[in-house]
Chain A
Amino acid sequence: MTSATTAHSVVEPSATTRRFAGSLVVLYAIITMIPLVWIMLTAFKSPDDAISYPPKVMFKPSLEGFCNLFTTRSRQTPEFIRSLGPPQGLCDSIARSRNMVVAGPSNYVPRFVNSLIIAFGSTVLAVALGTLSAYGFSRFRVPLKDDLLFFILSTRMMPPIAVAIPIYLMYRTVGLSDTRLGMILLYTSVNVSLAVWLLKGFIDEIPREYEEAAMIDGYTRFQAFVKVVLPQATTGIAATAIFCLIFAWNEYAFAVLLTSGNAQTAPPFIPIIIGEGGQDWPAVAAGTTLFLVPIVVFTVLLRKHLLRGITFGAVRK
């Protein structure tokens, strides 16, 4: 094939086609971004701006949403507020302008910390277990291999509510109800299936010859696994870890049914942030924004491996 025919290959879409396709995709992307942009805008609105009609795109930015997210406030008489000293910090002065005083920190930070601990704890466990089993399934002749792999995948297909009923009873019996450890174990068991399937794909791609060469150089199989396979699988392990992290971070069904105070994560907490007279939308939006930002960053980091992650390693591009 000459260079002229590759440049104008018959299968290359024409410039007009490309521009047309591009504009449609961009239009979809813009529409699909509206709700997300709206969440971020609402986070910086004052409560009055948030519920104005018609919806305001231009507004005076306010940090009231974030203040309301992080604090609890109590209503006081103007006389009482005047008797207090000067306001301490921005949130206090915002609260006082609404005849309230800051009563204390809200539960958002503890819930966020729970989310972090549970997500990272379960991710570390799931990836560790997953790497070991994936290597086992990839390299050794395991009896009933396909059945075991199917069994591992099928555990992820169970409806969460159906799993939650016996887990609730079991955790109540063994004292794991509403504990971080209980949630870590539960999320690990859900994520380990994804980790095994994804990592098996990644490890399958590492040539066996590397380990065999190392073993001839005197390494044991285990040493070869640690010193040869693991370094080669770093990218795969990192991508898998991010997927597990995102699942555990986003999970809601188990969290809302099995935790109440102590181990509650952010997803069941954010919807119940209420102010006086119903939902405090700027505060909800502020909590949502802070909660979503890490995932947006991770998505951009992961974009090359997304396809693998969402298809359990079946489609590799």
Chain B
Amino acid sequence: MNELSASSRITYRAVMVRPGVARRIRGLSDRTLAWLFITPTIVLLLAINIFPLLWTIYLSFTNYRANRANVPTIWLGADWYQSILTDPDIWAAMQVTAHFVIWTVVIETVVGFGLAYLIDKKFRGHGLWTTIILLPMMLSPAVVGNFWTFLYQPQIGLFNYMVAFFTGRDASSFQMLGDVTLSPWAIVIVDAWIWTPYVMLICLAGLRSIPDYIYEAAEVDRASKWRQFWSITLPMALPFIMLAVLFRGIENFKMFDMVNLLTGGGPGSTTEVASITLKRAAFESWRTGYSSAFAIILFVTVFGLANIYVKALNKVKSR
């Protein structure tokens, strides 16, 4: 910023006087330049995202199988969509996904907001501790998730040892990953461990956006701390909380890597979230047409959520 000398500040005034000048002195016209700058990105996205998406839509109406490319492709119409929407296995996967999404979002929001509220008290060293808390979020969920299978080992795992230590149960009496009732919670715990800091960080921004004078006014009016929390803190941080909730909701709806490594959908299909079902259909049974249809259904759902998300983003932005 300092490199621009006083002369540019003087010429800045000149622009104010003669607004047309900037436009007249140029090499390429702004219009051409705008398109030159934007087109490469759009072309890449069309080639790597949109063209494949259109192809998926086409495949979802056919019996195509990627491992039998020579079998003639038959047009099936909306058959796959009908069978997916009436398939109890798909609805079971959706239920697993819903359990996962709802519980992770609830836990992450409550704990994340709580942490943000505490960090906002600006105790000594809060910057350092905040950075430490943020670490799990930045690391590869797959690589770290994989290591959790070790922590969850019934005989030797640290998690089981700690639970045993604090509850007095036998460490080998329960299997976080092998038990039908525990495994859905095993993936929730790891996800909450990774992503609570994410919610915390956004909530912290929300809390810090509340100006002090509002609290000062509330103190003058003798509003209790409790009342201040419910009438000022929470409503004013709400757009930020919503943003975090929506983003976590979308991301966890698509959850694949961590669950794939921790349980692979098992035992049985108790942790088979939608993405795992999709992967099994697409890359294990090679039912390409069927899985394409399922992919489109998932995509439409995410797209709808993303729409709401962007609206929320713009709302926060305008603050």
Contacts and interface: CB of A to CB of B under 8 A. Distances in A.
B138 A299 contact: yes
A140 to B, nearest CB: 4
A317 B151 CA distance: 36
Interface in B222-251: 240, 243, 247, 250
A59 interface: no
Interface stretch (A63-71, A82-90, A96-104, A161-169): A161-169
Contact of A165 (B22, B134, B295, B303): B295
Contacts of B27: 220-223
B28 A220 contact: yes
A18 interface: yes
B48 A165 contact: no
Contacts of B253: 159
B193 to A, nearest CB: 6
A157 B302 contact: yes
B49 A170 contact: no
A270 B161 CA distance: 25
B212 interface: yes
A25 B44 contact: no
A29 interface: yes
Q: For the side of the interface on A, what is the size category?
A: 35 or more
B131 interface: yes
Interface in A242-270: 246, 249-253, 256-257, 266-268, 270
A232 B45 contact: no
Contacts of A281: 150
Given A213-B4, A253-B257, A257-B279, A295 B299 contact: no
A159 to B, nearest CB: 4
B26 A140 contact: no
Interface in B299-319: 299, 302-303, 305-306, 309-310, 313-314, 316-317
Q: Chain B interface secondary structure, helix, strand, loop or mixed?
A: helix
Nearest to A300: B131
Nearest to B18: A216
Contact of A19 (B12, B123, B130): B123
Contacts of B121: 13, 17-18, 21-22
B141 A252 contact: yes
A152 B45 contact: yes
Nearest to B208: A317
Contacts of A276: none
A237 interface: no
A163 B133 contact: no
A267 B144 CA distance: 9
Q: Chain A interface secondary structure, helix, strand, loop or mixed?
A: helix
A53 B144 contact: no
Given A24-B118, A130-B41, A222-B27, A213 B8 contact: yes
A159 B298 contact: yes
Contacts of A18: 121-124
A310 B198 contact: yes
A170 to B, nearest CB: 6
Contact of A310 (B14, B139, B201): B201
Interface string A30-47: 001111101100100000
A114 interface: no
A312 to B, nearest CB: 7
Contact of B146 (A29, A250, A284): A284
B135 A296 contact: yes
B41 A55 contact: no
Given A10-B219, A132-B37, A165 B136 contact: no
B282 A166 contact: no
Contacts of B215: 10-11
Given A160-B256, A250-B139, 17 more contacts: A10-B215, A11-B215, A133-B42, A152-B41, A154-B306, A157-B302, A161-B256, A161-B275, A210-B4, A210-B8, A213-B15, A216-B25, A250-B142, A306-B134, A307-B204, A315-B316, A317-B208
Interface of B: 1, 3-4, 7-9, 11-12, 14-15, 21-22, 25-28, 30-31, 33-38, 40-42, 44-45, 47-53, 55-56, 59, 66, 111, 115, 118-119, 121-127, 129-144, 146-148, 150-151, 155-158, 161, 171, 193, 196-198, 201-202, 204-205, 208-209, 212, 215-216, 219, 240, 243, 247, 250, 253-254, 256-257, 260-261, 274-275, 278-279, 282-283, 288, 291-292, 295-296, 298-299, 302-303, 305-306, 309-310, 313-314, 316-317
9 contacts: A10-B216, A28-B115, A29-B132, A38-B147, A55-B157, A212-B22, A213-B7, A270-B146, A284-B146
Which 8 pairs between the two chains have the least Cβ-Cβ distance? A22-B123, A220-B27, A166-B52, A252-B142, A162-B295, A250-B140, A136-B37, A140-B34
